[in-house]
Each structure stands twice: as C-alpha cells, then as structure tokens.
Amino acid sequence: MNQRSVLITGAGSGIGLATTELLLLAGWHVLATDRDQAALDRLAERLDNKSDRLILRHMDVTDPDAVAKVALECQALTAPLLALVNSAGIGSSVRFADTTPDMLRRIYEINVIGAFALSQALAPVLRDNGGGSIVHIASVSGLKGNMGRSAYGASKGALVTLTKIMAVELADDLIRVNAIAPGPVETPMVADTHTAVTRQEWHRTVPMRRYGTPDEIASAIAFLVDGRQSSYVTGQILAVDGGFTAAGIMA
Ligand code: NAD
C-alpha cells in the first residue's frame, strides 16, 4: 500500500534535483528524467546507487516519442505512479521590445507545451491508479509583471491558468493539480540569468531579503504530491517566494 512512484522532469538540476533527493528520502520511488544525460549521470554518481528506488531516464519533454515511451513505462511500474512534477524549464530575461516570436515559441515549447503534453500522457495512468497529483513549477513571474519576463512570464502565466483548468477537469478522476510559484531560487538557471543588478533588486523587493534554496521549493512540492497531506488541495498556486508577491511598498 505504501509503494508509490513519482515522475520528475528536469530532475538533473536545481529544483528538480532537490525534489528527487527529498522524495527519495520520503520513501517514494522516483523516475527522474531530464534532457541532459550528463546531469542524470551526475545524479547517479551523487546518489552512488544508494537507492534502488531511483530510475533515471533521458527524456526531452518536447519530444513526443520520448514522452510516449516514458508514459508507457509508467503504466508498468511496480510501485504505481501517483504523482508528476513538471520542473523542466528554461528561463530568459529580455525586454518586451526585443523579444521575438521565436523566443516566445521556444520558451512555450518547453515550459508550457512540454508540461501540458506530459501531463496529458500521464493523466490516464494516474486515473487508472486511483488518482494522484500533478505539480507544475510556475513562477512569481507568471503572477507579476517582472521586468524582462515577457516570454518567460507569459509562459508561466499560461501554466498558472492551465493548472486551474486541469484541476477542474481532472477532479472527477481524483487527480489534484497545483502549481508552485517560486521566487528567486539559487539554481544553475539563476546563475546563468541573474546579473548583479538583478540580484540587488531581488534583495530589495523580497521581504525576507534573500534568495530561496532548491530544498525550500522541494518541501512545498513534497506537500503537494502527497495525497495524505494535501488531499483537499487542488487548483492552487502556492507562492514560495519569501513574501515577494505579498509585498507592497517596502519602506
Ligand atoms: P535548472 O536550469 O537548474 O534546471 C532545469 C532542468 O530542466 C535542467 O536539468 C534542464 O536540463 C532541464 N530541462 C530543460 N529543458 C528541458 C527539456 N526540454 N526536457 C527535459 N528537461 C529539460 O533550473 P531550476 O531553477 O531548477 O528551474 C526548475 C523550474 O523552476 C523551471 O521550470 C523554472 O522556470 C522554475 N523556476 C525557477 C526559479 C528560480 O529562481 N530558479 C524561479 C521560478 C521558477
């Protein structure tokens, strides 16, 4: 009865990696997927085969064949699949005037259509297993008009709305759908995209005056995937952001 599996995308880095480690500790079987094979290899090394509950799979969420193959594998897991965490994503910081339709398409392809397609492929598996939980990783940039986030923020805003629609439509199948909206979190993505000026601005506008850690996001995800803890929570966007979205004037 206690055997349960979760599929995590973007499991090779940042929030997906921290979630993989936390859910393994919590006793889940984890199907950890990423498009970056080297990151998956590092994960295997890091865990040093300490868990026989970890399966690593190379999967690009924009590749329909790879998604279909993994979905098929999910039907046959010995520990039934009860949860999906869509953490794969890319960031960008480009002003509206400089954002091209191609930039928008590229980011939607991964952040929106990737999460959409995998959720659609796995929803029947969750339903047939008696229900489960899907968690999207949105962003505070999908809730507020952060500078430079026209492509990224629009993609995360789409995920926010998709979360609510999926929650409504999948409730009859006992599938709960929620999203986390992280504020700034110290991950490789942020190391790539945040300049010194951006960092200063986050420290100024986040009431807790610091970036979050991947572990702090992972524990919120762990709550949402666990049907014993969050059984009546669906259609919600949980901001894990040091108070950023709650704040008004700061002085
Ligand atoms: P990260 O770059 O550290 O990790 C993202 C992982 O996703 C990488 O391992 C990458 O290989 C994988 N990935 C990217 N495209 C993929 C694809 N097409 N198919 C499969 N895997 C793919 O980033 P992170 O900061 O851990 O971000 C995780 C999620 O959290 C993203 O959706 C991101 O938008 C969101 N988020 C992050 C922050 C932050 O401050 N770090 C804030 C808000 C939201």
Closest residue (by CA) to atom 34 of ligand 1? 89
152 a catalytic residue: yes
The finding on whether 56 has its CB within 6 A of some atom of ligand 1 is: no
Predicted local confidence at residue 51, as pLDDT = 86
Q: What is the pLDDT of residue 193?
A: 86
36 in ligand 1 pocket by Cβ < 6 Å? Answer: yes
Q: Is the residue at 250 inside a domain?
A: no
Atom in ligand 1 nearest the alpha carbon of residue 186? 41
| Residue 247 belongs to some domain of the structure | no
pLDDT of residue 47: 87
- Asked, for residue 114, whether it belongs to a domain, the answer is yes
Tokens 């090779």 map to which residue? 12
Q: Is residue 228 part of a domain?
A: yes
Q: Is 152 inside any structural domain? A: yes
Say if 211 falls within a structural domain.
Answer: yes
Nearest to 201 by CA among 188, 192, 211, 191: 211
Residue range of the domain that includes 64: 5-239
Pairing relation of β-strands 5-9 and 29-34? parallel
The answer to the question of residue 246 being in a domain is: no
Radius of gyration in angstroms for the set of CA atoms belonging to the chain, rounded to a whole number: 17
- The protein residue whose alpha carbon is closest to atom 24 in ligand 1 is 14
Pocket probe mutation, ligand 1, options 8, 9, 15, 62, max atoms within 8 Å of Cβ: 15
Ligand 1 pocket, residue 60 CB under 6 Å: yes
What b/e sequence results for 207-218 when a residue is b if at least 16 CB atoms lie within 10 Å of its CB, and e otherwise?
A: eeeebbebebbb
pLDDT the model gives residue 178: 99
CATH number at residue 179: 3.40.50.720
**What digits encode the pLDDT tens for the residues 43-88?**
999 988 778 999 999 999 999 999 999 999 999 999 999 999 999 9
Domains contained in the chain, number: 1
All residue ranges of the chain with pLDDT < 70 are 1
Give a yes or no: residue 245 inside a domain. Answer: no
